[in-house]
Structure 1
Amino acid sequence: MGTLVGHVAPGFAFFTLGLWHLFNNIKLFCLHPNTFTSSPWFPTSKLRYLELYLIMLSSSASIAMELFIGPKRHQPFDSDGTIPSNHLHNFEHSSISMSFLVYAVFAVVLDQARSISTHVSHGLTILVASSAFAQQLFLFNLHSADHMGIEGQYHKLLQLIIFVSLLTSLIGIALPKSFLVSFVRSSSITFQGVWFVVMGYMLWTPRLIPKGCFLHEEEGHQVIKCSSDKALHRAKSLVNIEFSWFFVGITIFVMSLYLILSGLYGENAEYSILITKDKSEESGEEQQDIESLKKSNPSFVQIGKLLGSEDV
């Protein structure tokens, strides 16, 4: 992180993951509203663990970029083996990626553990995912980089979104059948991705920097500085307005997606329910006809016994 690509790449990963969870949770709820149970991850038809493999791949790539590819000497340590101050944030970012890597690995292991029930396996998987969000929130809150200016405002608002992801993940352990909990969790992950991308472009694109502020080289990294307190206050206010607009946009997007998918898959579910209901009603009517025939014609029972019919 700390660059445009460093924010856009993980942002795209979070956005794709959140969108994938949104789609599957809505589809699952529309098809099975009475038996809906949220899943911490969703398998694909051709490769069951594709989602988890992609999380492992992207997390590993992020760790490699932060610790070995990004640094000038392709390793984050100083000549005496200590961590230099300008590489502290590299270790913080890689620790976040490591947490999501651990989550993906344990998700696969728990799914393959036959000795553990499905309910317990899902609960433990969500717990590990919650620990990854907790790690993310902890390190962004106590970041070693100077987040007192515009960049700090972006990160404060990001922490609000991460907190929602963490909270809904923990609630999901106790309420796995709640569609609203899983819906909000998936929406927050999607919003995380969008906000990461926005941060990347707004903080490291010179023409998008607010008036009165500029990019400044500091300890090998570019940060935004403002010429006055008035310019800084204006820039932070613009970030807040920007966040509120994207919040409204995400709300419109996820609700529209729900309405579209419910219209697409809800009809199939209703048709299936109607067919099942009609069959049960027909079976009930047939049973009533047999009972009435028994009462009205006792000889029908004797004939049935001779024929060995179980219905009579």
Structure 2
Amino acid sequence: MGGTPRSSIGHILPGAGFVAVGMWHMFNHMKLFSQQPETYVAPVWFPVAGARYLELGLIIAGSAVEFAMEMFIDHSTLLPFAADGSIPSDRLHNHEHAIICLSLLVYAAAAVHLDRVAGAGARARDALCLLLVAAVFAQELLVFHFHSTGDHAGVEGQFHWLLQVVVAACLATALLGIGFPRSFAVSLVRSACIVFHGVWLAVIGAMVWVPSFVPKGCSLVREDGRDTVRCHSKESLHRAKALANLQFGWYFSFLTVFVVALYLYVCKRYPAAAGEAAYMPLQKDAGDDGDDEGMDVVDDAHKGGVARGGSVHGFATLEIEV
């Protein structure tokens, strides 16, 4: 078998996208926390000076392209349905992957719209955006847990079981971010999980569909219109699963070391301004229900002011450099 380039690339390219977004978030969360540790509030996404919606625009474009690839392109027929309107059995996994792409597209488009709508509080916007992020990971967890491509008993299934662990961590940290918007630990772990999510997707694309990486005693076979790995004996299957577990552990360890090293570098490169007030309380009249408004001012200082510069009520904003 020569392998399936579409299956391999279809995992590696989305994996690279998750790595890019996760690294972008990780670096900027570290930078923001290093410069303003006492007033840190975690943004859901980071604007770019001169191109405010670059991150969200790339997510929309990438999701739309992948959706089109799954549903229409690189198949014997461009139509995702059979002549009678049913879904062919060999296209079920394409529809499942397309649902994840659609969820990502909905999140990014909604985040752009919410940012442009006047009158919505910053806390409410961030909470809703994080709920949409959680919906993406919940959708992905559901799809991979009940994947139509197998019963999770083979090599491919083992890789998908481990992927579910990472997706579940992404889901948990997205939900925790709603209740703890000032927690740097939650934001850091969420960003690292997104990076690991992308790394593991790329690993799946390489280890399952590149023939030279298939474990010893296993081979690529054609089943139900798609290529997958099948092992020739129980011993080979156990060995292949153990290798997948070992890879997961090694990549996890490497990522942990990388996150610590990056954090130390960012703290050294972007220290907090000397002599700058760490905290300035907001004033409000007695009996005035201004807690939410005050919090919105703080959040806007961290998020909305990123692209504009300046400060709001004593809270310095962060200028993100690209």
- TM-score after normalising by structure 2: 0.83
Instruction: Give the gaps of 5 or more residues in structure 2.
Output: 279-322
What is the percentage of aligned positions where both structures have the same residue?
44
Alignment match of 1:169 (pick from 168, 174, 183):
174
Aligned-partner Cα distance in 2 for 1:275–1:222:
60
Residue pair 1:206, 1:214 contacting (<8 A) in 2 also: yes
Q: Secondary structure at the match of 1:116?
A: coil
Partner of 2:305: none
Residue pair 1:2, 1:221 contacting (<8 A) in 2 also: no
Q: Secondary structure at the match of 2:182?
A: coil
Partner of 1:122: 126
Aligned-partner Cα distance in 1 for 2:277–2:54:
34
Aligned-partner Cα distance in 2 for 1:92–1:63:
10
Query: Following TM superposition, by how much is the alpha carbon of 1:78 offset from its aligned partner in structure 2, in angstroms?
Result: 1.2
Partner of 2:102: 98
Matches within 5 A, 1:110-259: 110-146=114-150, 147-259=152-264
Is 1:9 aligned to 2:13, yes or no?
Answer: yes
Query: Following TM superposition, by how much is the alpha carbon of 1:276 offset from its aligned partner in structure 2, in angstroms?
Result: 5.6
Is 1:53 aligned to 2:54, yes or no?
Answer: no
**1:159-192 CA-partner distances (Å, limit 9, x unpaired):** 0001010000000000000000000000000000
Alignment match of 1:19 (pick from 23, 26, 32):
23
Cα RMSD between the aligned structures? 1.3
Alignment match of 1:261 (pick from 259, 266, 270):
266
Q: Secondary structure at the match of 1:65?
A: helix
**1:97-144 CA-partner distances (Å, limit 9, x unpaired):** 000000001101111111211111111111111101100111011100
Runs (4+) of structure 1 exceeding 2 A deviation are 272-277
Aligned-partner Cα distance in 2 for 1:70–1:37:
44
Query: Following TM superposition, by how much is the alpha carbon of 1:208 offset from its aligned partner in structure 2, in angstroms?
Result: 1.1
Q: How many residues align?
A: 273
Aligned-partner Cα distance in 2 for 1:15–1:93:
18
Aligned-partner Cα distance in 2 for 1:40–1:235:
38
Q: Secondary structure at the match of 1:273?
A: coil
Query: Following TM superposition, by how much is the alpha carbon of 1:79 offset from its aligned partner in structure 2, in angstroms?
Result: 2.0
Alignment match of 1:83 (pick from 84, 87, 91):
87
Query: Following TM superposition, by how much is the alpha carbon of 1:81 offset from its aligned partner in structure 2, in angstroms?
Result: 1.6
Aligned-partner Cα distance in 2 for 1:276–1:195:
42
* Structure whose CA Rg is larger: 1
**1:137-157 CA-partner distances (Å, limit 9, x unpaired):** 110111000132000000000
Query: Following TM superposition, by how much is the alpha carbon of 1:8 offset from its aligned partner in structure 2, in angstroms?
Result: 0.3
